[in-house]
Amino acid sequence: MDKSVERTVALLRKSYAGELTAEERAEMERLLENEKMRQLYEEIGDDEYLLGEFRRYAGWKPAQGYRKFRKNMRRQSLQRNLIRLSVAASILMALGCIWWLVEPDWLEQGGKIAEITKEPASCRAFLQLSSGKRIVLDESGPMDVHEGDGCVRIDSGQAVYSVGQTTPFKAEEYHVLYVPQGGEYRLRLADGTFIHLNAGSELRYPVAFAAAERKVYLKGEAWFEVAKDTERPFYVETDEVRIRVYGTAFNINTHGLQAVETVLVSGEIGIRKTEGSEEWHMHPGQLALYDRSSGEISFRNVDVQKYIAWKDGEFCFNDDTLEEILEELGRWYNVTVVFQAAEKKEIQFSGHLKRYENIQKILDAITESTGIVFEISDRTIVVK
Amino acid sequence: MDIGRILEAVNEKKEELWPEVFGYYYAALCSYAERLVQDSVIAEDLVQDILLYVWNCKRKFIHIDELTNYLYRATYNRSMMWLRHEKCKSKYLNRLMEENGPEFDEMFIETIREELLRQLFLYIDELPSEQRKVIQMSVEGLTVHEIAEKLGISVNTVKTHKKRSFKQLREKMKGTATVFWLTFFFS
């Protein structure tokens, strides 16, 4: 079928007007072989159907839509002005962070730390076996789980898979590793691939890989160091994009509100939309952004450190908005964030922070440099 | 309405021309989104988001078809994202998810439908005055008799006008008029 909307529309209209050339008539016939297209053609040809659709159209008044649009636009430009103001704040923030890193004991002298309750994430996760059974993974001592062809050794925040040498490969059995908010977990798959899952993420993978390819399914954020195997390509699938790996290290983050971010640190990967067929090759140092609203993928050269700092136990913010920052902190410390004033979401910050610090320290540092007040109760942070 | 002005509004960020962008696309995009999300309020919100996004983005559209395609595509993607997010049990979504192959064709055909309707709806304003009034009143829900009475013409004339108008809308060729006008429902 011809995939050009404007050409097909023009062809249909010519057909209604009875102005098709012989060639176009043949094209039209081919088009109408599709049952849905035939139905559409008949419906548009029916006066009553058109009247019904026009009534629906009349329900969306362009003038009202435009007024709403103007309102949204004004709200947005107000936020812009706040962001401009916040540039100064973000410089202060950076200075504040440096001071605070140099003076690590600074907060301990304050009175506030007594009531600190939000401890950062630790190595907590759940492993779901192919039988459906769930195991809680924590920092407790070594434990072996045997299933099918494989064996998993779980020890100190890491699960390591190995495949029995003697048993022949049977059907693929899948495990799912769930890392809740406030957790993280490391994993070594049967082929030697190393994966570090960030908080609020989920990975589904076979206990032992098939002969033809290696495929895993990801929701959330993970760092991959894929073991080289030219015989069996490695795929990472997400709801939005599909990555083909040619032996490499990279990070994928599907948490983003605007975009799914894929960063390549070394080696080579190919990326495509889950629903598309075109594949783009990425080079080290490149960031691929899958835009959630347009559905397009764009590429940029970036400082990869910002995107992978989390795996080395750091937060690295660089002109990120408060909304993005608190969302990430929320995932890591397992707290919910509530903005009382929506315009504060757009304020931008930069700075390096230690991931294993207490959240109160991080929030105090932000308050100290910007004056934004946070109220913490139970597992909720309210931005005043 | 001039197509050039639509492109100018979008590419040059001319706010004063944006009412025309709304006249040109708004109802069609809302309708398109509503078919997907099955909720007219959500549909309107999604379309507002997209148009605000277009207002902010730096992308330039060289041809009107490029912009039209982009808007349908963005509406489709936004709607699917919303559905996924809501884990809505919508039949439509399930069907799309189950069959991997035909989903693109289906989306394509739905886009054709919307674009045809959009163009036909816009052309109402180009009909001769009496015919246009008949169609507008029919859309408002008036019966043939009520229209005949209001316009002081016979019922048969109304019926003929209606029939002829729909035929003309369908047969009007895109491209024969590069400039066309639209009534805004400023109230």
The CATH number linked to A341 is 3.55.50.30
Nearest to A319 by CA among A76, A95, A73, A83: A83
A22 touches chain B (CB under 8 A): no
B162 touches chain A (CB under 8 A): yes
CA-based nearest distance A32→chain B, Å: 11
From A255, A287, A307, give the residue that closes a domain: A307
CA-based nearest distance A11→chain B, Å: 10
Determine the Cα–Cα distance for residues A83 and A367; give it in Å rounded to an integer: 16
Determine the pLDDT at residue B47: 95
Whether residues A168 and A193 fall in one domain: yes
Whether residues A248 and A323 fall in one domain: no
CA of A51: which chain B residue's CA is closest? Answer: B139
Dump pLDDT digits (tens) for B160-177.
999 999 999 998 865 443
Determine the pLDDT at residue A305: 79
Whether residues A250 and A373 fall in one domain: no
Looking at residue A265, which CATH number applies to its domain?
2.60.120.1440
What are A163's strand-pairing partners? Answer: A150
CB-facing half-sphere around the CA of A62: CA atoms within 13 A = 21
| Torsion on CA atoms A98, A101, A106, A108, rounded to nearest 10 | 150
Determine the Cα–Cα distance for residues A54 and B137; give it in Å rounded to an integer: 11
Phi and psi at A359, nearest 5°, equal -65, -30
Whether residues A57 and A193 fall in one domain: no
Whether residues A21 and A149 fall in one domain: no
Whether residues A73 and A133 fall in one domain: no
- B49, B81, B112 member nearest A40 (Cβ): B112
Residue B4 has pLDDT above 70, yes or no: yes
Q: How many C-beta neighbours within 10 Å does residue A257 have? A: 9
Q: pLDDT category, B150, cuts 50, 70, 90?
A: very high
Name the residue type at position B187. S
Determine the pLDDT at residue A81: 60
Q: pLDDT category, B159, cuts 50, 70, 90?
A: very high
Q: Is A115 a domain residue?
A: no
3-state secondary structure of B65: helix
**Interstrand relation of A286-291 and A259-273 (parallel, antiparallel or unpaired):** antiparallel
Residue B101 has pLDDT above 50, yes or no: no
B181 touches chain A (CB under 8 A): no
Please state the domain count of chain A. 3
Helix (H) or strand (E) holding A82, with range, is helix A62-102
Is the separation of the CB atoms in A348 and A86 below 8 Å? yes
Interface test with A, best of B113, B162, B174 (most A CBs within 10 A): B113
- A44, A64, A294 member nearest B116 (Cβ): A44
Whether residues A330 and A230 fall in one domain: no
B172 touches chain A (CB under 8 A): yes
- A9, A61, A295 member nearest B77 (Cβ): A295
Q: What angle do CA B76, B82, B86 make, to 5 degrees?
A: 145
Is the separation of the CB atoms in A58 and B139 below 8 Å? yes
Determine the pLDDT at residue A260: 87
CB-facing half-sphere around the CA of A188: CA atoms within 13 A = 14
Task: Find the domain containing A154 and state its range.
Answer: 122-307
Is the separation of the CB atoms in A332 and A182 below 8 Å? yes
Q: Is A167 a domain residue?
A: yes
User: Do A5 and B65 lie within an 8 Å CB cutoff?
Assistant: yes
ipTM (interface predicted TM): 0.84
Q: Is A113 a domain residue?
A: no
From A86, A108, A130, give the residue that closes a domain: A108
Dump pLDDT digits (tens) for B103-137.
567 888 999 999 999 999 999 999 999 999 999 99
- Structural domains in chain B, sorted by start: 3-83 (1.10.1740), 126-186 (1.10.10)
Determine the Cα–Cα distance for residues B159 and A70; give it in Å rounded to an integer: 41
Nearest to A193 by CA among A172, A178, A213: A213
Whether residues A230 and A317 fall in one domain: no
Whether residues A297 and A331 fall in one domain: no
From A56, A86, A108, give the residue that closes a domain: A108
Q: Is A114 a domain residue?
A: no
CA-based nearest distance A261→chain B, Å: 17
Whether residues A258 and A279 fall in one domain: yes
Determine the Cα–Cα distance for residues A200 and A198; give it in Å rounded to an integer: 7
Q: pLDDT in tens for each of the 384 residues of chain A?
A: 556 888 899 899 999 988 899 999 999 999 999 888 999 999 999 999 999 999 999 999 999 999 999 888 887 776 666 655 565 566 656 665 555 555 444 344 333 332 333 455 555 787 888 777 777 776 666 777 776 656 777 776 678 887 654 444 455 678 888 888 777 888 888 888 889 888 888 999 888 887 788 889 998 889 898 888 878 888 999 888 888 887 678 888 888 777 888 988 888 888 988 888 888 888 888 899 888 888 888 888 888 877 888 887 777 777 778 888 888 788 777 788 888 877 778 777 777 777 767 777 778 777 776 778 888 877 788 888
Average pLDDT over residues B8-30: 92
Is the separation of the CB atoms in A268 and A283 below 8 Å? yes
Determine the pLDDT at residue A155: 73
CA A214 remoteness from chain centre: 21
Q: pLDDT category, B88, cuts 50, 70, 90?
A: very low
Whether residues A147 and A292 fall in one domain: yes
User: Do A293 and B49 lie within an 8 Å CB cutoff?
Assistant: yes
3-state secondary structure of B139: helix
- A277-281, B25-29, B51-55: the lowest-pLDDT one: A277-281
Q: What percent of chain B has pLDDT over 70?
A: 82
Determine the pLDDT at residue A208: 80
Q: How many C-beta neighbours within 10 Å does residue B183 have? A: 11
A144: tokens are: 């072996």
3-state secondary structure of A281: strand
Whether residues A142 and A256 fall in one domain: yes
